[in-house]
């Protein structure tokens, strides 16, 4: 039966040989001596790096916001200089900010049932009243709106 120390040594050796060498470009194993030797050390280093990553992301976000503010100011000056309107820029009004794809255009009705139901004859399934009428032998032209 193998002891826990064997597994720890094996894990350290594998980490040193593959991950660290590939990740940091270290080819000499003596350079790896300061590396973490326990799971707690590794976890503390991960936590430290996560904190550094969070700080860098925050800095990047702040820089992005500063650049954005500058771009917005520059655009406002150009809009005022050239007297452009939202319509000129093909922008939606503030009240109805919907994308072009989100706005559904209804087709005009082409067929009407005796009960007043309508159908455009477009894509999708036919309404039940059409399928029942066609199954009963009635032509589709009987329901056309003229």
pLDDT in tens, 98-123: 555 666 677 788 888 888 888 888 77
Give the residue-averaged pLDDT of 54-63. 90
Residues ≥6 apart with Cβ < 8 Å to 126: 119, 134
Give the residue-averaged pLDDT of 6-10. 70
Give the residue-averaged pLDDT of 125-138. 90
What stretch of H or E contains 119? strand 118-119
Whether pLDDT at 135 is above 90: yes
pLDDT bracket for residue 80 (50, 70, 90): confident
User: 27-41, 45-59, 111-125, 129-143 — which is least confidently predicted?
Assistant: 27-41
CA proximity to 130, closest of 146, 119, 106:
119
Whether pLDDT at 81 is above 70: yes
What stretch of H or E contains 56? helix 39-82
For the entire predicted model, the pTM comes to 0.33
Whether pLDDT at 136 is above 50: yes
CA proximity to 45, closest of 15, 17, 22:
15
pLDDT bracket for residue 1 (50, 70, 90): very low
């Amino acid at each position: 039966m193998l002891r826990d120390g064997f597994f720890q040594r094996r894990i350290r050796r594998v980490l040193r040989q593959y991950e660290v060498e590939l990740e940091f470009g270290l080819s000499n194993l003596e350079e790896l001596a300061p590396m973490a030797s326990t799971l707690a050390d590794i976890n503390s280093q991960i936590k430290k790096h996560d904190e550094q990553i969070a700080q860098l992301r925050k800095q990047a976000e702040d820089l992005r916001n500063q650049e954005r503010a500058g771009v917005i100011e520059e655009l406002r000056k150009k809009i005022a200089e050239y007297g452009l309107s939202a319509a000129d820029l093909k922008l939606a009004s503030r009240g109805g900010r919907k994308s072009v794809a989100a706005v559904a255009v209804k087709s005009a009705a082409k067929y009407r049932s005796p009960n007043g139901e309508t159908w455009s004859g477009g894509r999708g399934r036919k309404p039940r009243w059409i399928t029942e009428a066609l199954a009963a032998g009635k032509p589709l032209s009987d329901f056309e709106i003229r």
